Structure 1
């Protein structure tokens, strides 16, 4: 692929990404000593990353993601002091990160090694890459504690460590990571879900940067109460706390997060009713509350959630009838209220949800006839009314 270019000694930028090149990256790439940018991503390249790339001492941006590369990262790459961006995501790379990985990478601003097979610890010395703004190490096999030294990266904007086998560095039940990150004043995206952190979310989480928009800590073995201080993160757009062992009810402070678009509280042992404060989240598009012990009725003010598209409150203890206001949400695409104690007739107004693709009301106590208007849900591809007390005939216009 590059054999014809190896004599272009003055070449500074080479971008062959988003093609269908296959084969190996030739060692001759190391002859392009003036290269500042090398992008070969989104191809079908295989084999290892040649050691000779470590000879490109003027390189500022290296992008080899979305290929089928294997083996480890050549040690020489960690000595390219000019390197600002290292993008190797979505390959089959493996190995461990050097304990002194930032000794020579003084200018590194962005590192993406996600979707690979890297293992071992995240070196505490990563904080020596003091210019880092983005760290993407998710979907690997990293283990050991998440270093609290990440809090020294004052320019950090994105921390993506999801789907590894990482633990908490602190011996205290409270997760010191979130306390340390309060010093990262530009932080906007924290994703550490699917790691066995096994601890308590500290109240100091409310002291995170006001710029935080994503906070995803699902399936982390968390326990205790959801801190009220989460309500201090007034710019939160995505909040995911699923599959943990929380106790108590949903903190009322969450209902003050006016910019929230995504809320996932699935399977976290929540109790108590759905507060009317929920109806204040007018930007909310995704509401996932299934597999809890939420009781009482669905608030009648649901029609205030004018942006809502996906609603899942299945497997709870909801009772009473469905509020008529639910059918005012014309933007709804996905509704799952199955496995509750809901009762009463199904309103003909349900046929007005023209965008609905999935409706699951199974395993409740609904009675009466199936409304004939249900035929007008022309985009529906999944409908379940099973295990209720519905009577009469199935509408002919089904």
Structure 2
């Protein structure tokens, strides 16, 4: 391969080929990369400048020898294994390459706020050490792969603002029910997609460590699962703009706006946790009067009741809040 880079260079394949000392400067000038592969190299410097123009970012770092244990956006262990990829808002385009499955020591993956398209590759199931994954605010589509449940250590999963559809993988309830097999999950966000189905009634049993769940602006139906003692860790839930029915569980923050709950706001609102800080029932077609018991929510900081069919006067008990 010639050592001079050109502006129309396609598919740079950097396998066992010598490169000039100004390698990174030349790579940065490339205008249209279809793929970039680093194999068996002693790499020094920053990749950030070239990421902006890449159509597909593919690194096999399992076989890569790095002099520096950290690039901008890439963190490695002392054993020279990639443990973190943080390419948030770096202009990435194209698809997520299947080679991401080669990063078997990866703990942290954040490629949010880019223009990535296509499906989540099934090879992500090989990331058994992964604890944090954020793919939010891209243009990803298709179903969430059920094989994602093999990421046994995953604690935070954020897929907001994409175009995922289907149900939640068959073995995750109907979010593939397999998602609910990730018992280590603490935070689960899939806001603003096109996912349908229902939440499993035993959600808190399946995900006992769950603290946060955001599934607003999707197409979920059915009842909101109850919150038994198993849900002791749950602090935040956002169900906005779905088609849920049923009773309201107890939490610290409850956002259920733009659903089709109808009916009255029951006196049992007093049974909501005394630690509740946010209650938003905006646009739920709730009628009747505001129950006096809402004044018992002594820690409430924000209350959203607009765009309902409530009648009567504002109660004195609200003055306790």
TM range (shorter): 0.7 to 0.9
Change (3 A) 1:217 1:52: closer
Change (3 A) 1:82 1:68: closer
Cα distance in 2, alignment partners of residues 242 and 139 from structure 1:
18
User: Do the aligned partners of 2:105 and 2:127 also contact (CA within 8 Å) in 1?
Assistant: yes
Mapping of residues 314-393 of structure 1, within 5 Å: 314-329=306-321
Cα distance in 1, alignment partners of residues 47 and 237 from structure 2:
31
Q: CA deviation at 1:281?
A: 2.2
Q: CA deviation at 1:311?
A: 1.1
Cα distance in 1, alignment partners of residues 162 and 57 from structure 2:
23
Change (3 A) 1:28 1:63: closer
Could you say which structure has the larger radius of gyration? 1
Q: CA deviation at 1:119?
A: 0.5
Alignment equivalent of 1:262, drawn from 253, 256, 261: 253
Q: CA deviation at 1:134?
A: 0.6
Cα distance in 1, alignment partners of residues 190 and 97 from structure 2:
22
Higher relative contact order, structure no. (Cα contacts within 8 Å, ≥ 6 residues apart): 2
Mapping of residues 305-320 of structure 1, within 5 Å: 305-320=297-312
TM-score of the superposed pair, with normalisation by structure 1: 0.62
Cα distance in 1, alignment partners of residues 220 and 308 from structure 2:
21
Q: Is 2:261 the partner of 1:245?
A: no
Alignment equivalent of 1:213, drawn from 211, 214, 223: 211
TM-score of the superposed pair, with normalisation by structure 2: 0.76
SS in 2 for 1:222: strand
Change (3 A) 1:171 1:321: same
User: Do the aligned partners of 1:240 and 1:265 also contact (CA within 8 Å) in 2?
Assistant: yes
> Deviation digits for residues 283-341 of structure 1, max 9, x if unmatched?
22221101112122212122322221211111112222222010122xxxxxxxxxxxx
User: Do the aligned partners of 2:108 and 2:131 also contact (CA within 8 Å) in 1?
Assistant: yes
Q: Is 2:104 the partner of 1:121?
A: no
Q: CA deviation at 1:28?
A: 3.8
The alignment yields a C-alpha RMSD, in angstroms, of: 3.3
Greater Cα shift, 119-128 or 177-186: 177-186
User: Do the aligned partners of 1:284 and 1:307 also contact (CA within 8 Å) in 2?
Assistant: yes
SS in 2 for 1:190: strand
SS in 2 for 1:268: coil
Q: How many residues align?
A: 278
Equivalent in the alignment of 1:274: 265
Consecutive unaligned residues in structure 1, runs of 5 or more: 1-25, 31-45, 330-398
SS in 2 for 1:325: helix
Q: CA deviation at 1:54?
A: 6.3
Q: Is 2:147 the partner of 1:149?
A: yes
User: Do the aligned partners of 1:178 and 1:202 also contact (CA within 8 Å) in 2?
Assistant: no
